[in-house]
Amino acid sequence: MSTTGLDISRVVNVNVALLASGASVRNFGLPVIVGDSNVINGVQRIASYTNISSVATAFGADSPEYKACLLYFSQNPTPAEVLIGRWLRTATSGFINGGILTASQQLMSNWTSITNGSFTIHIDGSQQDLLGLDFSAQTNLNGVAGVITAGLSGATCTWNGEQFVITSATTGVLSLVGYATPEGTGTDISAQLKLTAATANVPVPGFAAETALEATVALYNISSAWYIEMFAASTMPSDDDFVAIAAFIEAASISRVLFITDEDSRELDSTYLTSISTRLQSLEYTRSAVTYGSTNAYEMASVAGLWAGTNFEGSNTLPTYMFKTLPGVTPETITETQADTLKAKRCNVYVNYVTGTPIYQEAVMSYQLYMDERQSFDWLQNAIQIAVFNLLLESPKIGQTDAGMTAIINTINSVLSQAVTNGMIAPGVWNGPSFGNIVTGQNLQSGFATYAPPISSQSQVSRDARIAVPIQCAIKLAGAIQSVDILVNVNR
């Protein structure tokens, strides 16, 4: 075979192009549990955990965040992830975390030989020169931190098992700790502490105290991943706080929901009309849900675990959240009248039945919608949005033609077909208003119908702006049976 001659690309030219990656549909079961424990700082704000042991290690088993996550991860199937967000309920101090010391760097022999240690650091804007630090009598790194604390003014040094941390004694926005630098005399330990600009983490400033709403807004702006918000804090938000948060969630452009557990027994009183459930119902908020629970302030974490288990890409996978169990939650024993009161207030409850099997009921949002409807509507909106976006992204061009509109409609219909598969949509009669070629009383044999007018009907202004003609969809919800009346006729 000849190894010389013309390049074959003169005849066959091949280029391999990696197509742009499409966007992904959001996770409509991922919660953020918002707490006030001093674990996640005000710069980080939010952290992800994939199991209860990692939450216990970070927060401790007595923390509100752990107690809420325990209910969340106890659901079946076990959720894959939870986000925990920080509420700066009280003002915080500025601090700096040093770099992590290796095992060899943690040996006390590195320190006991130092009798004149020194370094410079700025605390709250003022320079402090630490001199004559004597570690010769210390037996562990906690002792080293204690010697440094004695040399500081208005700050403390601690050893957390892997790094040194210097924290200002003040709080608020003026509370600041800078990097350590050599002082110039004695034995410099700034690098050994790993508190220099080259080795330490970025200093975290202090923060002023914030409201629960301000925490929600901060978490909203920092992450678009979470869908469900609930609080688990040492001091919980007030009802007024929850109303303000619910208003924000309702108006926000990114779809979210707010879960509230109300321990107030006045929820059971039909004459008490200022409970949080009644207030949210009167405001017609469809993105908030309240559960009455007298023994656990975090019951809704278990409900969030139910939502996390919903798979919109499966077959017949969409549940109604009524009749479900809440592992780890003590069910309420209430009267028929109290159950009717809660139902009228659209306040959910985990309740005992005479069968011995407790169930979660009524599984509703504060106004108009069932829980499964709220979640499904948000998934459908996002799934259609992402599918059409990816079509535009991955295609060389979608023509402003009837064929182009057909491509968009086919993309939408593929999502609607999945909504049939997962159990959200089912065949039925369209009882809504007529539009396009879809009429009231029409049988939607596939459970949905999609309509777009001819491209020729489009105005020149819209055509010049490269806007598609409007697309309208009619869908028939599969619904869910949550109560049954049975009449048995007997003939002797």
Please give the helix or strand (H or E) that residue 278 lies within, else none: helix 276-282
The pair of three-digit structure tokens given for residue 388, joined into one six-digit string: 């059409």
The type of residue at 267 is: E
Question: What distance in Å separates the CA atoms of residue 196 and residue 96, rounded to the nearest whole number?
Answer: 10
Q: From start to end of 141-185, where are the E strands? A: 155-159, 164-168
DSSP assignment letter at 205: -
Counted residue by residue, the chain has a size of 492
**Where do the domains of the chain lie?**
31-88+210-372, 95-188, 396-492
Per-residue pLDDT at 1: 55
Residue 401 has a CB neighbour count (10 Å cut-off) of 11
Query: Do the beta carbons of residue 51 and residue 91 sit within 8 Å?
Result: no
The type of residue at 441 is: G
ω into 470 cis (within 30 of 0): no
The pair of three-digit structure tokens given for residue 261, joined into one six-digit string: 């557990």
Using DSSP, state whether 188 is helix, strand or coil: strand
Question: What distance in Å separates the CA atoms of residue 51 and residue 37, rounded to the nearest whole number?
Answer: 18
Rounded to an integer, what is the distance from CA 54 to the centroid of its chain?
17
Residue with tokens 């009429």: 439
Would strands 82-86 and 117-123 be described as parallel, antiparallel, or unpaired? unpaired
Per-residue pLDDT at 391: 96
Question: What distance in Å separates the CA atoms of residue 485 and residue 90, rounded to the nearest whole number?
Answer: 53
Strands across the sheet with 117-123, in order? Answer: 126-133, 117-123, 187-188
Query: Do the beta carbons of residue 283 and residue 258 sit within 8 Å?
Result: no
DSSP assignment letter at 203: P
Query: Do the beta carbons of residue 229 and residue 258 sit within 8 Å?
Result: yes
Question: What distance in Å separates the CA atoms of residue 196 and residue 192, rounded to the nearest whole number?
Answer: 9
The pair of three-digit structure tokens given for residue 379, joined into one six-digit string: 């998934």
Nearest to 200 by CA among 212, 208, 192: 192
Question: What distance in Å separates the CA atoms of residue 168 and residue 176, rounded to the nearest whole number?
Answer: 7
Per-residue pLDDT at 136: 97
Query: Do the beta carbons of residue 306 and residue 324 sit within 8 Å?
Result: yes
Please give the helix or strand (H or E) that residue 448 lies within, else none: strand 448-451
Question: What distance in Å separates the CA atoms of residue 276 and residue 288, rounded to the nearest whole number?
Answer: 10
Q: What is the pTM of this model?
A: 0.93
Nearest to 155 by CA among 132, 126, 133, 134: 126
Phi-psi region of 10 (alpha: psi -120 to 50; beta: other; left: phi over 0): alpha
pLDDT tens digit at each of 492 positions of the chain: 566 788 888 889 888 877 777 889 999 999 999 999 999 999 999 999 999 999 999 999 999 999 999 999 999 999 999 999 999 999 999 999 999 999 999 999 999 999 999 999 999 999 999 999 999 999 999 999 999 999 999 999 999 999 999 999 999 999 999 999 999 999 999 999 999 999 999 999 999 999 999 999 999 999 999 999 999 999 999 999 999 999 999 999 999 999 999 999 999 999 999 999 999 999 999 999 999 999 999 999 999 999 999 999 999 999 999 999 999 999 999 999 999 999 999 999 999 999 999 999 999 999 999 999 999 999 999 999 999 999 999 999 999 999 999 999 999 999 999 999 999 999 999 999 999 999 999 999 999 999 999 999 999 999 999 999 999 999 999 999 999 999 999 999
Maximum C-alpha span of the chain: 108
Question: What distance in Å separates the CA atoms of residue 136 and residue 108, rounded to the nearest whole number?
Answer: 9
Sign of the torsion angle spanned by Cα atoms 427, 430, 432, 434: positive
- How many separate helices (H) and strands (E) can be counted in the chain? 11, 18
